[in-house]
Amino acid sequence: MLKNWFLLASVSCGVGFGSTFLVSRNLQQSTWAGLGTVPAVAASMTILSRQRKEEIERQVAKSRSSLDDVRQQLQ
């Protein structure tokens, strides 16, 4: 999991740096822009991960409820 986060941080930093450097040609500003993208991407990935987990928990609860209904009908 740590490898995935490191890869994500590296890519986001590179994209932030590259896109800013193409426009500004200022190395220091581009470096800060690249580093600034890392927390933003990490926060958005954390939110998405949490939403996926909640969706899976809802689906599991719904499946268990359906399974309980089937069990009651069979008895």
Reported as a single tens digit per residue, the pLDDT across 1-17 is 667 878 888 888 899 99
The pLDDT assigned to 51 comes to 95
Tell me which amino acid residue 55 is.
Answer: E
The whole-model pTM stands at: 0.64
pLDDT, position 4: 80
pLDDT tens string 18-52: 999 989 889 899 999 999 998 988 888 889 889 99
25 torsion bin: left (phi>0), alpha (psi -120 to 50), beta (else): left
